[in-house]
């Protein structure tokens, strides 16, 4: 362990309570400024998009190997990808769950048994969605040498991990050091695509989407079971924000793991339809300076819920704010929007209906991947 990492490990046990809040405030502000400077720097020069680095093995995409640390991907991504192509799925959590040090990189030897089971398979594309601390040169080289297929890197959180902008840094190597190993990268942030291109790396836009299952949708309710809900796991910054709302008089019913006295529900789509207003928290860091597209931004409207979330300029390009979703800029702005619509449940129903139509028509993961796979040179048109 290098000296800086060792020092961080010594500090963490003391970062509690008010001291943790102060530390997070200054560190998030520092990282937000660094991120802003990195984005602004891309505007200083004319930045032409690098030539496509991928040459499709076959015109027709027959089979994909998808590698990830499965948390939601098997449940939400895999059902959408199999609508396009046959998919084999490697879950690295099965390989790391019993490790003494779970943050260690995955070597080719660590996945050798998994790869041996697939040795007779032929892939037209290998897609890797892993955190920096799990990546290794030997792992990526093993994928490339075994199948000689385009190697694609997927990152849906690169605003904070492309450089070391993570608040609780978990890897000594930022994601930027890994993108050169991929033939092409996929990002859900337009701003970050400019950063990839400025550094000479090919990158395509893959906005976050959702898994559309007709069985997991709702119709507008004549009477809502809940007034305001939040569906998502516990995080300290989320709890603090919801506590601030409650001090203003806005009661929020929470669903998800980790919340004290909360109801656990693994069918969030039902809650979305039963709630007059579904709260979204779009911040990417604790200090509320950076936002990012979230799965919930599309799951909630897609399931038929009226969605009120943090304003994000990219989200505002994907939905009509005020007609298909609702947005706020800070907690006081939220209180105004919430108060107006809480008295107008019919408007909430109309917004939920319009948002669902937009999400199903344009924002499924299947549609997202068909677009980028076509840009990579594959024939993925529906037959």
> What is the per-residue pLDDT across 31-76, written as a single tens digit (0 to 9) for each?
788 888 888 988 887 766 655 556 666 688 999 999 999 989 999 9
212 three-state secondary structure? coil
State pLDDT tens for residues 148-183: 999 999 999 999 889 875 555 556 689 999 999 999
State pLDDT tens for residues 309-342: 999 999 999 999 999 999 999 999 999 999 999 9
CB 158 within 8 A of CB 189: yes
pLDDT at 6 > cutoff 60: no
Question: What CATH class does 214-362 carry?
Answer: alpha beta
pLDDT at 125 > cutoff 70: yes
pLDDT at 13 > cutoff 90: no
| Angstrom distance (rounded) from CA 251 to CA 181 | 48
Structure tokens at 287: 């200090």
pLDDT greater at residue 195 or residue 261: 195
Length of the chain: 383
| CATH no., domain 63-209+365-375 | 3.40.50.2000
Mean pLDDT value across residues 212-224:
85
pLDDT at 100 > cutoff 60: no
Laid out side by side, the sheet with 203-205 consists of 86-91, 63-68, 125-129, 151-155, 184-187, 203-205
H/E stretch holding 328:
strand 326-328
Using N-to-C axis directions, what is the helix angle for 296-303 and 345-362, rounded to 10°? Answer: 110
What is the predicted pLDDT for the residue at 19?
74
H/E stretch holding 126:
strand 125-129
What is the predicted pLDDT for the residue at 10?
58
CB contact set of 326 (below 8 Å; sequence gap of 6+): 277, 306, 307, 308, 309, 337, 341, 351
| Angstrom distance (rounded) from CA 376 to CA 337 | 42
What is the predicted pLDDT for the residue at 47?
64
What is the predicted pLDDT for the residue at 104?
80
Q: pLDDT averaged over the chain?
A: 88
Of 7-11, 218-222, 267-271, the range with the highest mean pLDDT is 267-271
What is the predicted pLDDT for the residue at 165?
59
Q: Which range among 36-45, 48-57, 107-116, 359-368 shows the weakest confidence by mean pLDDT?
A: 48-57
Of 95-99, 146-150, 267-271, the range with the highest mean pLDDT is 146-150
What is the predicted pLDDT for the residue at 195?
92
Structure tokens at 320: 């009509």
pLDDT at 348 > cutoff 90: yes
Q: Which range among 119-128, 149-158, 231-240, 311-320 shows the weakest confidence by mean pLDDT?
A: 231-240
Give the up-direction half-sphere exposure of residue 67: CA atoms within 13 A in the CB hemisphere. Answer: 24
CB contact set of 260 (below 8 Å; sequence gap of 6+): none
Q: Which range among 231-235, 326-330, 353-357 shows the weakest confidence by mean pLDDT?
A: 231-235
What is the predicted pLDDT for the residue at 115?
87
């Amino acid at each position: 362990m290098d000296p800086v990492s060792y020092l961080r490990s010594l500090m963490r046990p003391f970062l509690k309570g008010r001291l943790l809040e102060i530390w997070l405030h200054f560190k998030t502000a520092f990282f937000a400024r660094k991120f802003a400077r990195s984005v602004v720097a891309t505007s200083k020069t004319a930045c032409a998009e690098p030539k496509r680095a991928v040459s499709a093995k076959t015109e027709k995409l027959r089979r994909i190997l998808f590698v990830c640390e499965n948390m939601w991907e098997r449940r939400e991504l895999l059902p959408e990808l199999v609508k396009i192509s046959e998919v084999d799925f490697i879950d690295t959590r099965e390989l790391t769950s019993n490790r003494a040090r779970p943050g260690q990189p995955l070597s080719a030897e660590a996945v050798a048994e998994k790869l041996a089971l697939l040795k007779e398979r032929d892939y037209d594309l290998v897609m890797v969605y892993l955190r920096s601390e799990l990546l290794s040169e030997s792992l990526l080289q093993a994928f490339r040498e075994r199948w000689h297929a385009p190697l694609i890197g997927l990152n849906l959180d690169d605003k904070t991990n492309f450089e070391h902008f993570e608040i609780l840094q978990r890897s000594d190597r930022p994601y930027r050091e890994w993108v050169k190993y991929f033939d092409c990268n996929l990002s859900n942030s337009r701003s970050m695509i400019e950063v990839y291109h400025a550094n000479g790396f090919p990158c395509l836009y893959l906005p976050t989407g959702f898994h559309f299952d007709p069985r997991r949708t709702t119709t507008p309710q004549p009477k809502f079971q809940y007034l305001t809900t939040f569906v998502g796991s516990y995080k300290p910054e989320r709890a603090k924000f919801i506590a601030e709302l409650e001090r203003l008089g806005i009661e929020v019913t929470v669903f998800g793991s980790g919340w004290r006295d909360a109801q656990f529900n693994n069918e969030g789509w039902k809650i979305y339809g039963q709630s007059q207003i579904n709260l979204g928290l779009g911040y990417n860091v604790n200090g509320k300076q950076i936002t990012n597209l979230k799965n919930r931004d599309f799951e909630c409207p897609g399931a038929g819920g009226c969605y009120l979330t943090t304003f994000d300029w990219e989200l505002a390009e994907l939905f009509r704010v005020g007609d298909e979703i609702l947005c706020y800029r800070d907690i006081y702005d939220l209180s105004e929007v919430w108060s107006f619509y809480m008295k107008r449940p019919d408007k909430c129903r109309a917004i939920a209906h319009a948002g669902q139509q937009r999400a199903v028509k344009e924002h499924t993961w299947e549609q997202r991947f068909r677009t980028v796979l076509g840009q990579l040179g594959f024939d993925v048109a529906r037959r």
